[in-house]
Chains A and B, each alone.
Chain A
Amino acid sequence: QAVVTQEPSVTVSPGGTVTLTCGSSTGPVTSNHYPYWFQQKPGQAPRTLIYDTNKRQSWTPARFSGSLLGGKAALTLSGAQPEDEAEYHCLVSYGSSRMFGGGTRLTVL
């Protein structure tokens, strides 16, 4: 069974730029894994930010972008805001199966 890995925690300064990554134990993450990124704030349900590597939902702020970087899926936040402090989860598809990473706790400080 594949394992999806994310940084446990990352800190960014207000207004700064940060990149979160999502790797797979089976090898490079590609567009064929249709990677997703979700944001979850304490006590709330997750919210979909990015799908199919780099497509934003209609509610996703433009400061969030998705890409593939060094064999991993990546979520870049440019111009971090205090309200971006949250847990970020990636999801990778393996054929019919889906696997989440362990999540990254992003602190804006």
Chain B
Amino acid sequence: VQLVESGGGLVKPGESLTLSCAASGFVFYDYYMNWIRQAPGKGLEWISYISSDLRTTYYADSVKGRFSISRDNSRASLFLRINSLTVDDTAVYYCARGGVTSPFDFWGQGALVTVSS
């Protein structure tokens, strides 16, 4: 099982960004997938999950309205669109498998997003 995040980098406040998570080594469309972030020197914050069939998504209250999770099962890929970025969105963003119908088990190595003018 491998999860590889990409799309991070330095962005300005107010801009938008899409993170990707490429999955391999398992049947992607069988699993719920999640995004979790960690601000520098802080704890983990669960952001969102999406069901295997794309029908169900759920977001933490702190990100509702600005974050959008999606997936492409044909490409075994997970996405996170972040709009109107603020400095408080600066964090390492992780994708992780499971957590609903199966346990959280595998995590990616994370993608760093830095929001600064």
Contact = CB atoms under 8 A, between A and B. Distances in A.
Partners in one complex: yes
Interface stretch (A9-17, A68-76, A78-86, A99-107): A99-107
A100 B45 contact: yes
Nearest to B97: A48
A98 B103 CA distance: 13
A7 to B, nearest CB: 13
Interface string B52-95: 00000010110000000000000000000000000000000010
B43 interface: yes
B61 A57 contact: no
A-side binding surface: helix, strand, loop or mixed? strand
Contacts of A1: 61
A89 B44 CA distance: 8
Interface size class of A (residues with CB under 8 A): 20 to 34
Nearest to B99: A98
Interface string B82-117: 000000000000100001000111111110000000
Interface string B32-54: 00101000000111100100000
B43 A103 contact: yes
A98 B108 contact: no
Interface string A6-42: 0000000000000000000000000000001010100
Closest 4 CB pairs of A and B: A51-B103, A98-B46, A100-B44, A103-B43
6 contacts: A36-B103, A38-B44, A40-B44, A47-B107, A48-B104, A100-B36
Interface of B: 34, 36, 43-46, 49, 58, 60-61, 94, 99, 103-110
